[in-house]
Amino acid sequence: MSDNIQVLGRETTAVETQNKVLRNTYALLGMTMVPTVIGAWVGINLNFAWMMATSPIMLFIGVMAAVYGMSWLVAKNANNAAGVWLLLGFTFIMGLLLGPILQYALHFSNGAQLIGLAAGGTAISFLTLAGIASNAKRDFSAMGKFLTIGMVVVILAILANFFFKIPALSLTISAVVVLLMAGYILYQINQIVRGGETNYVLATMSIYISLHNMFTHLLSLLMSFMGSDD
């Protein structure tokens, strides 16, 4: 009898911990939208075309250093308060990097609507996927290897298209990335619910990156099919 009580107590504690991690992740994810929007507003007003024309290699190196450097710092400080502030700084940078695609979208007469549709589509997708993944009885852990392989294939396709510049391949890549990010969100949230991820800072960063990629590639698809110059 006492053994059953102890087991039940451990299960209750585990569930409470998982629910707390999930609540903190959602709360922090909501907070990241503020620096993202601020960063995007700043990015829209930057002259990325001039930067690219002046020194594209240095711009690329700078962007990679900032993104991977900040993500490393967040991971390094995920267990202390500094991790939260570093994550907010990271999301500001990611918002800043939305500048070029937002500038391009706003060249269309319906650019603002396309951005709104992409943001709304990303939000609805997240809420739907979160609802599905939050059921602890469902186990999406088997998706991990498939998603990793899928991302490797996509990265290779992006590198190939950098040289060949095939429009149809670009559209295919964007569509596949949207689907892969949906899979990652399912996997990441389900990991939290099932106790596979216990650090809400790392969980938030992972989900945020998936949402960021989903939004940018969804916007690319919308611009390709619905962009209007009228």
Reported as a single tens digit per residue, the pLDDT across 67-79 is 899 999 999 999 9
What residues make up the domain containing 110?
A: 2-226
Range 12-41 average pLDDT? 90
* pLDDT number for residue 14: 65
H helical segments located in 45-166: 48-54, 56-76, 81-96, 99-105, 111-133, 143-164
Residue-wise pLDDT for 107-159, tens only, equals 999 999 999 999 999 999 999 999 999 887 888 888 989 999 999 999 999 88
* pLDDT number for residue 115: 97
* pLDDT number for residue 25: 95
Asked if residue 2 has pLDDT above 60, the reply is no
* pLDDT number for residue 50: 72
**Of 147, 148, 129, residue with least CA distance to 138:** 129
* pLDDT number for residue 8: 44
Range 52-74 average pLDDT? 84
Tokens of 160: 């190939």
Residue-wise pLDDT for 189-219, tens only, equals 999 998 888 999 999 999 999 999 999 999 9
How many domains does the structure of the chain reveal? 1
205, containing H or E segment:
helix 200-226
* pLDDT number for residue 11: 54
